[in-house]
Amino acid sequence: MAEAKIKSPQPYTRARVRSTIDWTKYDPGEFYDEIISAPGRARPATRSLVAFMRKQTIKHLVSRQQAADLAIQEMGITFTVYSEGQNIDRSWPMDIIPRIIPLQEWRVLEKGLIQRLTALNMFIDDIYNKQKILKDKVVPAEIINSSPDFLKQCIGAHPRHGVWSHICGSDLVRDGDGTVYVLEDNLRVPSGVSYMLENRAISKRVLPQLFERNSILPVADYPSQLFDMLASLSPRRVNHPEIVVMTPGIFNSAYFEHAYLAQRMGAELVEGADLVVGSDDKVYMKTIRGLAPVDVIYRRINDDFLDPEVFRPDSTLGTPGLFRAWRKGNVGLANAPGAGVADDKVIYTFVPAIIKYYLDEDPIIPNVPSFLCVNEQHRKHVLKNLATMVVKPANESGGYGMLIGPASTKKERALFTDLINKNPRNYMAQPALKLSTAPTLCGNNIEPRHLDLRPFILQGKHHYVTPGGLTRVALRKGSLVVNSSQGGGSKDTWIVDTEAG
Amino acid sequence: MLSRVAERVYWLGRFLERTENTARLILVRHNAILDLPREVQADWEQVLQVMGSEQHFAELGATANEKNIISYVFGERENPSSIISSLTSARENMRTTREILPSEAWERINSLYLSVARRSQKDLPQSARHAVLNNIIQACQQVTGLLSGAMNHDAAYQFVSMGRNLERADMSTRIIDSASAGLMGDSADVSPFRNVLWISVLQSLSAYQMYRLNVQRNVSPADVLKFLFQSTVFPRSVAHCLHEIETCIASLPDHKPALQVVAHVLHELNATDCSALAGESLHEFIDELQIHIEAVHHAIAKTWFRHDEK
């Protein structure tokens, strides 16, 4: 550097000014930005990131992004997309500019997430047992009775600790005024946690300086927290319960994650055909030493496919007799079958009431105002305001079958009017939020892109919340769809303690 | 350990070894041909013979010239024994057993796969051959080294090792068989170069240097055969590979029947007088040996992979 200055100070300085990152040009407009409070001004927790980037040239950032992409490719961090009749293994898209949340704010969100999952688990346990909440008419019984996710086979079951959803991924979004809402809960087989962990590994590789200068909560603890939680579900009181991760196999979009978690926990990764239920109604796995008992199954396979004796008889992914073994308390299943009854998008609208009912507390994190199309008044409101609303089918995930009002065409709105009128129970709608943004490297520019956050919450004997979670970002300009199957990317999420030295 | 996982890592060991051996085969052939006088026809078809792919290659309808044969053996996905196919299978087996293997080994094989996949879309001209093939050989050895140095030497490792040694023994017999077909004949235009060709057989198995160290005589067919079949010190000799498999088997549960099979093969192999093997009798001996090796594979599969047959 010194040498360059001596040789030709003028051109060097000019080139430098021109190509470093100019935050005053970055403008998120009407949206709340996670990093910048006003053009050129960092938020308190993001000061060090913004200052660091101010000293970087775009070229430098792009080369770091390339280093990250290469690392992702070589580490084989992939997700699988089903497209044009075949499965394609794609590299995981990660933007290197992190998303930052101040610790003080996070502490509140963490409490809110635990509150929410605690209440939801009490709700599920009640629904499959005494149904007090229905008798007290806090939740209408017909909503449960008409729900395809209410599994009659589960009535009367008592999983350990009264917990049905042990691993929950709740999607959080921030609106224009800065309020954080829960957009939805995923109580069945939420995925993404391995990408959260890998994103951190990558950003430590490519941005080590920032980790030195900031006090960022580590996330690497998750696999051991998961292991402990699963161990707390073991029906056998042994020191080393046999825990397995059950995957539908290599063609599942989240196979990478299944293998990853099994590896990090030191658990066996099993497929349905590796397991067998004995005449004693206990679960065994086929090993090179013969049959070995299994205590807890972290299953990453949907209820439908779990056990062909009870659910879909054509399923070749599951294990016959598994449900029976679980009902008899001979094996722990995480998450328990039937837990999906509470992440129905219609039930979602009752969650604040559910929290109040079981915990006698007000929800710490609010719900997005929601309109149930089954309710006539609500339906009218939705149909009238389609252009400003987001319409979701009650039981789909992955961002499929949605209508995003502000981005929709007249034809699409007509189609949804039809769909809603035909099957109102199946739809709910919310006003389109002004999803917050964060600076994202797009080609050779830094531009605002919309994002959400999926923290993961564990509940067994105890609770645990990942510090941060998986930030998903819509890479297309103006887009609100963050799902990786639909062109979304991701960011590392930093919970930054601004009060630490 | 799950039977399914055991089976996959066993095949990982086999495909990894096959990838390396195939690269070595092409490289040695390439070097040997450069040594032959110009009037002797460069025989690339021998590579197809070793791999048992002559018929399949003919079915694809390409002319059997150097360029086509190398493309077929290197980058043709239609060819189940090509380098790219073996590597794809090795990677797929590793990808589905990642949870028990050191992640560095996966990263190495994955990056090798990506580079070979890119390379395989182009020809492999003479000038690039050495660098590309050598890189494959080295990467395979790195993976083997990573597994040996960074993985618990538990049951999973024994399965990888059995796969590797079984594949190695099989490849050794194939190379000797194919070479002998050309060498034992009386074809006059080959005889002056017999020595060069025997040396190339040894080189195909990375055996030349070790042979010299161990045998300390000039290259003679009987010595070479004895070395490649029966040496107890050379890690690519058939007997050594089978000994390794025997040790692995003995460390696994319920090993009795499989152990008997491999002990029987070793006994037969060691009782053979290599100086009496030539021409047709050598070919028959190798045929029988390959059947024995196949029997070892079936014994392993039956004992540890297949629960239904027990």
Per-residue pLDDT of A346-394, as tens digits, reads: 899 999 999 999 999 999 999 999 998 888 999 999 999 999 999 988 7
What's the CA gap between A282 and B266, in Å, rounded? Answer: 43
Confidence class for position B28, pLDDT limits 50, 70, 90: confident
Choose the closest CB to B107 out of A74, A245, A259: A74
Place of tokens 């067998």: A276
Residue A1 has pLDDT above 80, yes or no: no
- Domain carrying residue B212: 152-310
Residue A393 maps to a domain:
yes
Cβ(A448)–Cβ(A29) below 8 Å: yes
Domain boundary among B150, B171, B195: B150
Residues in chain B, overall count: 310
Q: Is residue A471 situated within a structural domain?
A: no
By the 8 A CB rule, do A303 and A338 touch? yes
Contact A155, A327 (CB under 8 A): no
Mean pLDDT of chain B: 88
Rounded to whole angstroms, how far apart are CA atoms A229 and A161? Answer: 11
Last residue of a domain, one of A366, A394, A415: A366
Confidence of residue A330 (pLDDT cuts 50, 70, 90): very high
Percent of chain B with pLDDT over 90: 56
Name the band, by pLDDT with cuts 50, 70 and 90, for residue A13: very low
Residues A275 and A190 in one domain: yes
Q: Are residues B265 and B284 in the same domain?
A: yes
Among residues B119, B150, B181, which one ends one of the domains? Answer: B150
Chain B contact present for A285, CB below 8 A = yes
A273 part of contact set with chain B, CB < 8 Å = yes
| 3-state DSSP of A58-110 | HHHHHHHHHHHHHHHHHCCCEEEEEECCEEEEEECCEEEEEEEEEHHHHHHHH
Choose the most confident range, by mean pLDDT, from A131-140, A384-393, B271-280. A131-140
Nearest to B99 among A259, A271, A289 (CB): A259
Shared-domain flag, residues B224 and B256: yes
- How many Cα atoms are found within 13 Å in the side-chain-facing hemisphere of B168? 28
Q: Residues A258-285: what's their mean pLDDT?
A: 93
User: B96 vs A250: CB contact, 8 Å cut-off?
Assistant: yes
Residue A426 backbone phi and psi in degrees, to 5:
-85, -5
Q: Do B2 and A270 touch (CB under 8 A)?
A: yes
Distance CA B305, CA A421 (A): 55
Same structural domain, B134 and B163 = no
> In angstroms, rounded to a whole number, what is the distance separating the alpha carbons of residues B77 and B241?
29
The answer to whether residues A301 and A387 belong to one domain is no
Least CB-CB distance to B2: which of A75, A260, A285?
A285
Q: Are residues A375 and A362 in the same domain?
A: no
Identify whether residues B98 and B156 lie together within a single domain: no
A18 and B CB contact within 8 Å: no
d(CA B93, CA B139): 17
> For residue B100, what pLDDT band results from cuts at 50, 70 and 90?
confident
Q: Say if A317 is an interface residue toward chain B (CB within 8 Å).
A: no
Q: List chain A residues with CB under 8 Å of B106.
A: 76
- pLDDT score for A19: 66
* B12 and B94 inside one domain: yes
pLDDT for the residue numbered B208 = 83
Q: Has residue A43 been placed in a domain?
A: no
Number of domains chain A contains: 2
Where are any strands of DSSP class E within A187-345?
A: 243-246, 268-270, 275-277, 283-287, 290-293, 296-299, 332-334
Considering only CA atoms, which of B220, B178, B214, B230 is closest in space to residue B198?
B220
Residues B199 and B91 in one domain: no
Residue A304 dihedral angles phi and psi, to the nearest 5°: -50, -35
Report, in this order, helix, strand and coil percent for chain A, each rounded to 5.
40, 25, 35
A173 and A282 in a single domain? The answer is: yes
Q: Which of B150, B184, B201 is the last residue of a domain?
A: B150
Least confident of A46-60, A94-108, A477-491: A477-491
Q: Are residues B202 and B261 in the same domain?
A: yes
Using pLDDT thresholds of 50, 70 and 90, give the confidence band for residue A81. Answer: low
- Are residues B161 and B299 part of one domain? yes
Say how many domains are in chain B. 2
Mean pLDDT, range A67-75, rounded to an integer: 88
CA contacts within 13 A on the Cβ side of B94? 30
- Same domain, yes or no, for A320 and A425? no
β-partners of residue A296 are A243, A332
Examine the pLDDT at A87 and tell me if it is beyond 90.
no
Asked if pLDDT for residue A500 goes beyond 90, the answer is: no
Provide Rg for chain B, Cα atoms: 19
Within this chain, do residues B143 and B188 fall inside the same structural domain, yes or no?
no
Query: Is some CB atom of chain B closer than 8 A to the CB atom of A228?
Result: no
Same domain, yes or no, for A289 and A354? yes
Is residue B254 less than 8 Å (CB to CB) from chain A?
A: yes
Return the minimum-mean-pLDDT range out of A136-140, A427-431, B41-45, B98-102.
B41-45
Measured distance CA(B149)–CA(A366) in Å, rounded: 53
What does the pLDDT look like over A298-314, one tens digit per residue? Answer: 999 999 999 999 999 88
pLDDT for B243: 97
Residues ≥6 apart with Cβ < 8 Å to A110: A455, A465
Residue A500, classed as helix, strand or coil, is coil
Q: Does B110 touch chain A (CB under 8 A)?
A: yes
Handedness of CA B99, B105, B107, B113 (dihedral sign): negative
Q: Of A381, A407, A431, which residue constitutes the final position of a domain?
A: A431
Q: Of the candidates A431, A455, A470, which is a domain's last residue? A: A431
Mean pLDDT across A239-266: 90
For residue A2, what pLDDT is reported? 39
Closest CA to A299 of A279, A274, A278: A274
> If you average pLDDT over residues B229-253, what whole number do you get?
95
User: Is residue A244, in this structure, part of any structural domain at all?
Assistant: yes
**Are A34 and A42 a contacting pair, CB within 8 Å?**
no
**Close Cβ partners of A41 (under 8 Å, ≥ 6 residues apart):** A23
Cβ within 8 Å, pair A269-B5: yes
CA distance A353 to A339: 18
Beta strands A389-393 and A463-465, pairing class: unpaired
Q: Name which of A407, A495, A488, A471 is nearest A196 in CA terms.
A: A471
| B19 min Cα distance to partner chain A (Å) | 19
User: Which of A74, A263, A273 is the closest to B99 by Cβ?
Assistant: A263
Say yes or no: A408 and A304 in one domain: no
What are φ and ψ of residue B189, in 5° steps? -75, -10
Range(s) of the domain holding residue A379: 371-431
Cα distance between residue B140 and residue A347, in whole Å? 54
pLDDT at B184: 52
Which pair of structure tokens corresponds to residue A285?
């796995």
Region of residue A478 (phi > 0: left; psi between -120 and 50: alpha; otherwise: beta): left
One domain, residues B131 and B22: yes
- Looking at the fold, whether A248 and A273 belong to one and the same domain comes out as yes
Residues A236 and A385 in one domain: no
pLDDT band at residue A169 using 50, 70 and 90 as cut-offs: very high
Per-residue pLDDT reduced to its tens digit, B285-303: 999 999 999 999 999 999 9
Q: What average pLDDT is seen over chain A?
A: 90
